[in-house]
Amino acid sequence: MKSMSRIILGALVAFAAFAPLSNALATTVEPLEPLPVHANTTRNIVDALASRHYVTTELDDHQSERIFDGYLDDLDPSKSYLLASDVAEFSQYRDSLDNLLRRGDVEPAFEIFNRYHLRVVNRFDKVIAMLQQGIDQFDFTKDESLELDRKEAHWATDMAELDDLWRKRVKNAILNLKLAGKDPKDIQDLLIKRYQNRLSRTVQTNSEDVFQLYMNSFTRTYDPHTQYFSPQTSENFNINMSLSLEGIGAVLQREDEYTKVVSLVPAGPADKSKQIFPNDKIVAVGQGEDGEMVDVIGWRLDEVVQLIRGKKDTIVRLDVIPAKAKDQAESKVVAITRNTVKLEEQSAKAEVIDVEQFGAKHKIGVIRIPTFYIDFKAYQQGDKDFKSTTRDVRELLTELMGEGVEGIVIDLRDNGGGSLQEARTLTGLFIDRGPTVQIRSKSNRVDILNDRDIRTVYDGPLAVLVNRLSASASEIFAGAIQDYQRGVIIGSQTFGKGTVQSLLPLNRGQLKLTQAKFYRITGESTQHKGILPDISYPADYDPDSIGESTLDSPLPWDKIQPTTFRPKNSVAEYLPDLRNLHEARVSHDPEFEYQKDANAYRQKLAEEKDVTLNEEKRKEEKESEDKFWLTLENTRREAEGLAKIDSLDELKNDDEPTLAQNGTPSASGGGITSPDEKSADGKSSEGGIKGNEMAGVVDVPKNSTPTEEESGLPEADKVQDKPDAYLVESSNILVDLISLTNRTAAKKAENNQI
């Protein structure tokens, strides 16, 4: 049951959002305090880091300074809320946090957060009040600009300085929407709604959010991958690893004060009930057949999710306003029996790609692995049907071989890792036996993980496709395949995460603790360097802004003794020819040329430090950008034998993918959105609430591209899927490898006959 203070607080927020201007600053927030249990949890974390972390780091005054600076950066990274006077006042704690942490005292963190929280709430109130006055107050003929990158900015000396920064941010948001063709009234309504939503999410921050944020500012001074998980975060992490949960199987999202159903898991309990549908709104939740219905309007999304999740075979009742209801009074109560829900969206998937070379058609199998998952609980309980990456890929390999594919591409793009065990066992599907990875612990002991199964599920031609977001377990697998010369590694340099984390249960929540580093069987670490592909593609992410080397306090690269292993193939001897054939093919491939030029242009735009707020100059910049994208698109179309277009607007009704789908500005876009306009300001002002969650649900990743409401860019019309150029070329490289291998084998056979 919600506390009365939380309900009153929600009412205050709603009142402030629609109050006259004179009352626009009426939103109030009560100071947050640490929970009694937090002191003991803090001491547990301090002890665990001191005794069990891979690196011995002294918790002293120097460390205290790093924690202090890191916490402020986590709260207000763009220096948009706190004043220099606030920071000066809090500097009394700069060199004493180490001693306080040992005692379990986190009061300073809450004192700092409460000041920050008040500044955020007051700021959103001011912005809403400004917008309520109308947008005709903004002069778009003035020559002024908005600083986009404020990492090196100073703390504001007074409130007037922050007022001016936010005036420019609001002006930029309005200009974006104007250039997208929206009329003034729609712009005003949209922005007021946007900031009301952000204000509502902000005031829902609770003590657990603050504690988790502060603990992670502390743990990150040891290395970037050591983290404290609150009980709620722990549950979501375990769901992510197992790809299963006990609930109803519905993806939920907070919309205004309501919890809205975004989608249903196919064949899940909610889907099977045929009583709840996407866009329905959940207004109350009851437990069992006759439990009290708890009103959840205005609640945090994660708290609603917790009410709906529950043990298998139990009943949850939802009071739902159907999407088609004519008014809010038309609600209905739906009873759903919870069950185990398999989250197949993140499971490995397979497809067959047909490629043609010299008039001959070839079938190549592709297996996409989004993450290295395993249901540890089911595995430990002896469940024969436990979910895991290796089990799923084994089945997919069998299916693809049954379809007569000539080679396999393992697609690990954007796969951030997961279970170390799964990386080892997955490698075993492609080799007969041998070491897969080396693990060095805090004591410098090195353990070698081996594949001891002599069986090989697939021994044919193999390629592994990676990119900058392929990390950790992905790098273990790709590194082993490369070291054994079992297959060809294709793509761009990987993330470079070469550390191993274990979960340590605490009295409250869990600590994900770095306890080891892993090394390739050659003895080389993947830390910082990652895996360098045998054949490189144009990078789809900027390596200077994404990767282990860009994180705070990463562990260094090093190497240990190699282990004994025997190559399983001889891919290396074919690499020069494979690279030459690849370069010859993509040198006139319109998709590769498009991606290369588009990525270079995006990187150039990303280097811009500010954006003009002069409408005419912004229009000129937009025209210049549109001209670039139009020329690039027509170059691609001409090379593919398609008709040229006269305007980017034509892409909206074209059967070809729009530029927006390739991550470039859409026809009516061109507006530049500052970081604070893309997401919640700072790293905590949304209280740690995820954008989407499942009802008993693993967090559903938010699209990194702003939605129409956020950016003012219209959504692209649905179009036919265009083949993934990188997958097609990877398939061609595999066909090249098959051809070269066959030619070499034929020559050896001929020589033997002679």
Active site residue 646: no
Tokens representing 422 are: 């799964």
Alpha helices in 372-518 (DSSP H): 376-380, 389-402, 420-428, 473-483
In 3D, which of 228, 176, 230, 225 has the Cα closest to residue 206?
230
Of 217, 263, 347, 472, catalytic: 472
What is the rounded distance in angstroms from the CA atom of residue 106 to the CA atom of residue 94? 13
What is the rounded distance in angstroms from the CA atom of residue 273 to the CA atom of residue 267? 9
Q: What are phi and psi of 310, to 5 degrees?
A: 175, 175
Of 497, 512, 517, 568, catalytic: 497
CA distances 587 to 304, 493, 537, 579, 590, Å, are 53, 21, 12, 12, 8
Listing DSSP states for 658-688 in one string gives PGGGGTS--TT------HHHHSSSTTTTTTT
Of 302, 483, 699, 724, catalytic: 483
Q: Is 69 helix (H, G, I), strand (E, B) or coil?
A: helix
Q: Is 434 helix (H, G, I), strand (E, B) or coil?
A: strand
For residue 465, the cross-strand partners are 411, 490
For residue 317, the cross-strand partners are 286, 335
234 and 509 Cβ atoms separated by less than 8 Å: yes
Active site residue 472: yes
> Helices H, strands E: what count in the chain?
22, 22
Q: Per-residue b/e over 213-230, b at no fewer than 16 CB within 10 Å?
A: bbbbbbbbbbbbbbbbbb
CA distances 132 to 92, 169, 677, Å, are 40, 16, 18
For residue 408, the cross-strand partners are 365, 462
Listing DSSP states for 477-488 in one string gives HHHHHHHTT-SE
Q: Is 577 helix (H, G, I), strand (E, B) or coil?
A: helix
Active site residue 721: no
Q: Please identify every residue annotated as catalytic.
A: 472, 483, 497
